[in-house]
Structure 1
Amino acid sequence: MEKEHLIAAKISGKLTEKDMEKMHPLIHNIIEKGHKVDFYFEMEDFKGYTLKGFWEDLKIDSAHLGDYGKMAFVGNKKWQELAAKATDFFIKSEVKFFDISEKQQAQNWIKS
């Protein structure tokens, strides 16, 4: 998937503070070029966050509330869909959850 202002990641296990710290410079590079940041997250055996990882994610999100464009979450668990809907509620961007069987649709949507 190629798009200048897209961050795409396959997420598995638990997200940690170090994982979130790696994403911050990517977000800043895109914002500094004057773009909104789009995200594509494919969740495979994703277990959630460590507490520090969750806190780091909250800090990143609150610092960039107006800098995000589209967010596609691809997974196969009901709680992942609920988490995507919660993200949509708090962040001023377009957030959609796609079942893993709809991966191609999610990729098309995030690129449009």
Structure 2
Amino acid sequence: MLQILEFTKNNIIATRAKDNLTETDIQKIHPLIHNIVNRGKKVRWYFEMENFSGSKLNAFWQDLKMDMSHADDYEKIAMVGDKKWQNWITQFMKPFTNAEIKYFELEEKEEAKEWVS
């Protein structure tokens, strides 16, 4: 499930992902991305993860990156979650975006929000 957080505003998309992500979750994100891009801005994404396995996250990003037309539309991505995913996520994200990607542990949520802003 992907929850859109209140922190979403201007060119910032803020989400919390829990457990399994679905096609419906992907459909929640695309209009937000298009809205930002259509206003001539780059997307800054705060992506918080909870109770994830690598395959669940991998499937989500593979589905999302199918729209490669947006590869250059991301400016910053703050990945927030368990430290065990830090290297894997950072390496996985690099091929499909030129965005600056930074990883934060769950305890660093506020720092991540400040960084992405």
Normalised TM-score (structure 1): 0.84
Q: 1:27 to 1:76 in 2, by over 3 A?
A: same
1: CA distance between counterparts of 2:116 and 2:57?
A: 24
Structure with larger RCO (C-alpha < 8 A, sep 6+): 1
Answer yes or no: is the 8 Å Cα contact 1:76–1:99 preserved in 2: yes
Aligned length: 109
The question of 1:26 aligning with 2:32 is answered yes
2: CA distance between counterparts of 1:15 and 1:84?
A: 19
Percent of matched pairs sharing the same residue: 39
Aligned match of 1:92: 98
Gaps of 5+ in 1: none
The question of 1:59 aligning with 2:69 is answered no
Deviation at residue 105 of structure 1 after TM alignment:
1.1
2: CA distance between counterparts of 1:95 and 1:49?
A: 16
Aligned match of 2:23: 17
Deviation at residue 56 of structure 1 after TM alignment:
2.3
Deviation at residue 84 of structure 1 after TM alignment:
2.8
Q: RMSD of aligned C-alpha atoms? A: 2.0
2: CA distance between counterparts of 1:72 and 1:106?
A: 6
Higher strand proportion (structure 1 or 2): 1
Deviation at residue 90 of structure 1 after TM alignment:
3.4
Deviation at residue 54 of structure 1 after TM alignment:
4.8
Normalised TM-score (structure 2): 0.81
Deviation at residue 86 of structure 1 after TM alignment:
2.2
